[in-house]
């Protein structure tokens, strides 16, 4: 026999309120709470990408590859829970790229633990280049600091290490910003000029929010994002 569940009015109001916070005020072109949800638009792929252990619920919405966001409620525990992002495949040798730049503008919470960052893959996931534009809470890059340098239009603390599967280079901006333009080719050439890799093939260029915790439910929004290459 099917049960009919009844809630006190106060409880029902709370439940409806929690569901409402996970979605934009108006219906978006794409919405999903599936942790592996993907959506293709304009030559880009938007991914919910809830990949870490101990993750909570996360809902993604998008009106385009440029304008999208997530509501995430991940517990206040260590370890990355998700990396929702928008991505474009480049699939070209670094030396053959005339220019590779990206611009972004985000709205982000002032609590939780996360970073808004680019994640760039080279030589079929042999190398990972992370470019942190801002960070909040108890988060830090893999490896040890190698240098502080101004390249690609910003000043970074540069770290080098390994996650056990691939080598990771992290460019952590010395001060937070929520909008800007990055010369990605210049950043990647800086690594090459140090002899840390050769003429690599640039694969997926991703930008999004690497979320460690967002207890209680927080909203992360990409107001605009684009990649330009020649």
Can you give the pTM of this predicted structure? 0.89
**Predicted local confidence at residue 22, as pLDDT:** 52
**Contacts within 8 Å (CB) and 24+ apart, 18-22:** 18/217, 21/71, 21/217, 21/219, 22/57, 22/59, 22/71, 22/217
How many Cα atoms within 13 Å fall on the side-chain side of residue 99? 10
Residue 230 and residue 148: Cα distance in Å, rounded?
28
140 lies in some domain: yes
85 lies in some domain: yes
195 lies in some domain: yes
**Predicted local confidence at residue 154, as pLDDT:** 98
**Predicted local confidence at residue 2, as pLDDT:** 34
Whole-number Cα distances in Å, 184 to 131, 147, 189, 195: 9, 18, 9, 17
151 lies in some domain: yes
20 lies in some domain: no
61 lies in some domain: yes
Domain at 170, CATH number: 2.60.120.180
- Tens of pLDDT along the chain (230 residues) come to 333 333 344 433 333 344 444 555 568 999 999 999 999 999 999 999 999 999 999 999 999 999 999 999 999 999 999 999 999 999 999 999 999 999 999 999 999 999 999 999 999 999 999 999 999 999 999 999 999 999 999 999 999 999 999 999 999 999 999 999 999 999 999 999 999 999 999 999 999 999 999 999 999 999 999 999 99
What is the domain count for the chain?
1
Of 83, 53, 31, 71, give the one whose Cα is nearest residue 215: 71
**Predicted local confidence at residue 23, as pLDDT:** 55
Residue 141 and residue 171: Cα distance in Å, rounded?
9
115 lies in some domain: yes
Domain limits at 79? 29-229
6 lies in some domain: no
């Amino acid at each position: 026999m099917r049960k009919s569940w009844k809630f006190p009015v106060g409880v029902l109001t709370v439940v409806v309120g929690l569901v409402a916070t996970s979605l934009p005020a108006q219906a978006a072109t794409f919405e999903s709470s599936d942790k592996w949800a993907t959506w293709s638009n304009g030559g880009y792929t938007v991914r919910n990408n809830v990949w870490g252990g101990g993750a909570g619920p996360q809902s993604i919405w998008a009106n385009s590859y440029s304008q999208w966001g997530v509501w995430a409620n991940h517990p206040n525990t260590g370890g990355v829970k998700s990396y929702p992002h928008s991505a474009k495949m480049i699939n070209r040798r670094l030396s053959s790229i005339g220019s590779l730049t990206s611009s972004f503008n985000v709205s982000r919470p002032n609590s939780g633990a996360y970073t808004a960052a680019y994640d760039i893959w080279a030589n079929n996931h042999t190398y990972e280049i992370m470019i942190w534009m801002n960070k909040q809470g108890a988060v830090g890059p893999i490896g040890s600091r190698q240098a502080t340098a101004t390249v690609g239009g910003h000043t970074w603390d540069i770290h080098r290490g390994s996650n056990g599967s691939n080598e990771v280079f992290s460019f952590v901006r010395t001060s937070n910003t929520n909008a800007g333009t990055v010369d990605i080719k210049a950043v990647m050439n800086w690594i090459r000029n140090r002899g840390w890799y050769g003429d690599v093939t640039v694969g997926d260029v991703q930008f999004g929010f690497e979320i460690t915790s967002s207890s209680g439910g927080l909203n992360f929004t990409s107001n605009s994002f684009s990649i330009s290459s020649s």
